[in-house]
Structure 1
Amino acid sequence: MSLTVVTDSAACLPAALADARGIIVVPLHTVEADDGAATTARPTVAELIDAYRLAARRGDEVLAVHVTAALSGTVENARTAARELATQGIPVTVLDSGASGGALGLAALAAAEADDARRGAARARESAARSRLFFLVQDLNHLRRGGRLNRGTAFVGGTLGIRPILTTGPEGIGVVETVRGAARARRHLIAQAVRAAGGTAL
């Protein structure tokens, strides 16, 4: 029994490392909004189907470990792609990692060490559970328009220079702390990460 893992570019995996571990990376797309801000768009169902078909040719089972649904609709498209491939006799296990960035990359790497999809998914979940994601965004309206952040939080974030430090969880995006000013918010973001890692923030 062999397993091929598929993830997306939110995992920030270096190409050489992904190739060495046999992980297929599907790119997210960068979209420039009317106001000049750059956002990301999920891979299309067709792109995911192509990636999963390639994975199925490389291994007996396919496990797709994707960016948290709190930040992207990638998992939704992945499940649509998996349902279509199931009708063709190509089973694909789709996992919402609950993570992004390095945490997603580590989850994908952990999954790739397994021999089958069940063990791979368990390893990915275990890895992701040990990680916490903290982030700031320049414009909260993009998350609000995408339905990923409630209107009240977006409003507060746009008032009087208040910058919420955000995190993701099973319930979606939540606010860890609200800070006034971009520079101060970055310092508090680092402090939150240091404390979550077991260190002492200065």
Structure 2
Amino acid sequence: MKVAFVTDSGTGKTVSELKQDGIFSVPLQVSYDNTNYQDLEELGIEEMYRLMRDGVMLSTSLPSLGKIEALFEHLKNEGYEQIFAVPICTGLSGTINAMQMCAKTVGIPFDYVDCNVTAVVQDYMIHLAKDLHEKGKSISEIKAVLESVVESTNTYLLPNDLHHLKRGGRLTPLAATLGGLLKIKPILMINKNTSGKIDVADKVRTMHKAMDKVIQRMKDEHVNKDYMITVAHADDIEEACYYMNKIKEAFPEAKHQIIKLVSVVGVHTGIGCQAIQYFKMVK
């Protein structure tokens, strides 16, 4: 069976970058001044963070239905018999539901796995799915492997600007005000247990204490050499490097990388957020 593997810009990669790996993608949307821009295609991540530093309030939304339907029509015309997708999770976006609807309209079988997050895990999973298919694995076998990745995945967000979360409607005004006065740093998490939604894991007084708290949680989860650990920063490389040094000291044998926090998350957390995402790689 000829299967098309589809994702979106939550991976942090452009349509052309993913196409080089034989993977199809649709861009999410970032909006400001009543205009929608295609994430990473019409509005790059550097420009997005520049706008945020200038105080521009951005918002995000799922890919346009027209682009999803056009892609699915193209895939059907190219002889693909099924679409398998790993989009941004349902807890953060309606992209999965939109893809299901468009596949039904076009008349092409559709299946997916909810990664329960986005970013590096999403990118890893869509590439893994394609690799497994090329090795002869069935869709049900692929889904089972991907679900094992989801089970091992966790993501923590350490926002630096509670007022940004408040303005974006992600935090009550009272909580943001008290947090600022008391220097409280919330530790937010997103994983399968939160159904892909952002929840509060803990609260501490400083960013560095928040980092230490997350590292202890990772130790409690027995993170080891089989894990990929990513520090993703919202335009604050200095703190990201500080965080990574602590990570490498705690988990020296794991695989490590630093990236910029993907647009669809950074827009909502604000400048200075430090995120850590980790999962067990498939051998």
Q: Please classify the TM superposition score into its range, dividing by the shorter chain length.
A: 0.7 to 0.9
Identity over the aligned pairs, expressed in percent?
20
Instruction: Tell me: CA distance 1:58–1:95, structure 2 relative to 1, closer, same or farther (3 Å).
Output: farther
Give the corresponding residue for 2:120: 102
Are the aligned partners of 1:110 and 1:127 in contact in 2 as well (CA < 8 Å)? no
Letter in 2 for 1:160: G
Local SS of the residue matching 1:66: coil
For structure 2, list consecutive stretches of 5 or more residues without a partner in the other structure.
35-54, 225-246, 252-283
**Contact map agreement 1:8 1:28 (CA 8 A) in 2:** yes
- 2:7 and 2:85 in contact (8 A); partners too: yes
**Stretch deviating more after TM superposition (48-57 or 31-40):** 31-40
Q: How many residues in Structure 1 have an aligned counterpart in Structure 2? A: 192
Structure 2 counterpart of 1:73: 94
Q: Closer, same or farther in 2 for the Cα pair 1:50/1:121, shift >3 Å?
A: farther
1:174 and 2:199 correspond: yes
> Conserved in 1, the CA contact under 8 Å of 2:90 and 2:114?
yes
TM-score by length of 1: 0.75
Distance 1:193 1:20 in 2: 37
Residue 63 (structure 1) aligned to one of 61, 75, 84: 84
Question: CA 1:131/1:105 → structure 2, altered by over 3 Å: closer, same or farther?
Answer: same
Shift of the 122–80 alpha-carbon distance from structure 1 to 2, 3 Å rule, reads same
Contact 2:2–2:82, Cα closer than 8 Å, also in 1 = yes
SS of alignment partner, residue 188 of structure 2: strand
Please show how residues 117-196 of structure 1 align to structure 2 within 5 Å.
117-137=139-159, 138=161, 139-141=164-166, 145=169, 155-161=174-180, 162-168=184-190, 169-170=192-193, 171=195, 172-181=197-206, 183-184=207-208, 187-188=211-212, 191=215, 195=219
Inter-partner Cα distance in structure 1 for 2:8 and 2:27 = 6
Q: Helix, strand or coil for the counterpart of 1:59?
A: coil
Can you list the C-alpha shifts for 1:73-97, whole angstroms capped at 9, x where unaligned? 2223223223322xxx312224322
Tell me, in whole angstroms, the C-alpha distance in 2 between the residues paired with 1:96 and 1:142. Answer: 29
Please give the secondary structure, in 2, of the residue aligned with 1:96: coil
Larger radius of gyration: 2
In structure 2, relative to structure 1, the CA distance for the partners of 1:6 and 1:84 (3 Å cut) is same
Give the secondary structure class of the aligned counterpart of 1:48.
helix
Aligned residue type for 1:103: V
Change (3 A) 1:28 1:62: same
For residues 13 and 192 of structure 1, the distance between their equivalents in structure 2, rounded to whole angstroms, comes to 31
Q: 1:50 aligns with which of 66, 70, 74?
A: 70
Q: Distance in 2 between matches of 1:192 and 1:49?
A: 45
d(CA) in 2 for partners of 1:32, 1:82:
29
Moved >6 Å (runs of 4+): none
How far did 1:42 drift? 1.0
Query: What value does the CA root-mean-square deviation take over the aligned residues?
Result: 3.3
Give the aligned residue type for 1:46. G
Instruction: Check conservation: 1:29, 1:40, Cα contact below 8 A.
Output: yes
Partner-residue secondary structure (3-state), 1:176: strand
> Which residue, 29, 34, 39 being the options, matches 2:59?
39
Instruction: Give TM-score scaled by structure 2 length.
Output: 0.56
2:19 & 2:177 partners in 1: Cα distance? Answer: 42
Q: Point out where structure 1 has 5 or more consecutive residues left out of the alignment.
A: none
